[in-house]
Structure 1
Amino acid sequence: MNILALDTAGKTAAVAVMQQDILRYETASNTGLTHSETLLPMVDTALRACGLTAAQIDLYAVTIGPGSFTGLRIGLSAVKGLAFAANTPCAGVSTLAALAWGMAGQGTVVGALDARRGQVYWAGFDLESHDRLTPDAAEPVEAMENFIKACKKPLIFVGDGAALCYNRYGCVPGVLPCPQPLRVLRGAGVALAGKALWESGGCVPPAGLLPDYHRLSQAERDRAAREAAQSKTE
């Protein structure tokens, strides 16, 4: 099976090609350019390096959220465009699950993304089996305290929200440091999470790919606040 995996959920864009469980190509870009500028050239380079065309891809894997609303739409649009001609199956992968699949070892891994407004998107996974331990959530860092205390150790945090988690829980016994360059989301993690979704029957046709934002956009939150304020004055 030829899998093309893409991630545009955060600041880093990632692309990987996996063939028959072997990682053939992987690249990431955190240059400050927008994903709309970097993603398709990265995909083209990856396919050329592996001697493949889009028609030879058997499965597309892409992160669907949580993450940057604009970034997620760029990744989903790219995959839909590439997969539509042959109606190639697509795996819509949780960004937090992809973070976990990019790591290996024993214990627990928490994928965490900075959700702003004092919150993180987070979820816990078994580091060895990558079984999910919690649902994806958007909460204050303090909300994961009971999970951190009770989960199997050692524990590491990954993702661009890891620093916020280490600031609060870094001194908890069993919590191990993870160097910043190893916290980033890997295309290989997206590919592995996508393959697992394929094996469980969770893939969809291109038209079925939808983002999973986990909360309202800033514009929607502002509108809700205005409507709530207006209702109080009526």
Structure 2
Amino acid sequence: LLHIKGLAANKDKPMFHTIDDFLHVEYRARTRTAWLWASGTTTLKHLFQSLDKDANPPHLRQLAEKIVDERASSSALVTLGDHSTRDHVLEGSVTLLRDLDFYVHLRKTIREGDVGQLQALIPHLIFYFKGGGNGNYCKMMVEYMQWHLYEAPPEISEVIHNHCWLVNPSGRPGHFHPADELQEHNICDIKDTHAPIRANASWDYMTNISPAIPTFSRVGDHVDQCFHLIRGSQHTEPDAEADLQVLMTSF
């Protein structure tokens, strides 16, 4: 039904970008549906028309708070759980929108390099890791925050917080990513893109060229940009409007 490449079942698991695209489309569709529900309208056109008539900030805030309080929060689940007749489908929808909202917020925070906001999200991540059975991640986050907040010298903690959590080698806005993801890119370059072959394949050679591999990659990217070559290094955001309409209709 959806037009996201690689999402259909096959022998291999979908790539991360595929799942990420799907989750963002799902989030947008459910958020749009929530705005229609909160405003009492049936289509986006009617919603925009109603907002044009009453576009004052308090009204928009009232609608947003209604969505969060009743359709996208843990408090909404508590309220629904107190009803004599349980609506498990609605409860599942609220849970999903709450979790998707956190996921999208986290992804945006990382891309923008907002380490302050990222630190504020860590307590939530700890509970998500624990609830999802990711005990090692949960333990690591708890131990790190204990060290970061109460044990590390302030100047050391500040350096790690500001310069080691997220990195942005390109320097472009919205292109931050975790430091361990950068290391994964480096490993890929070492093992694949710039891997020594045949007679050059030795540990000594790899030791010598490894420090220069990030520079090799930047030079390659620069050449690609100069000659408009295509290497497939960028992920193109799909046009999701058709998928949004399909999902909103199903909701």
Both proteins in one fold, TM over 0.5: no
TM-score by length of 1: 0.24
Q: Determine which structure has the larger helix proportion and give its number.
A: 2
Structure possessing the higher radius of gyration over alpha carbons: 2
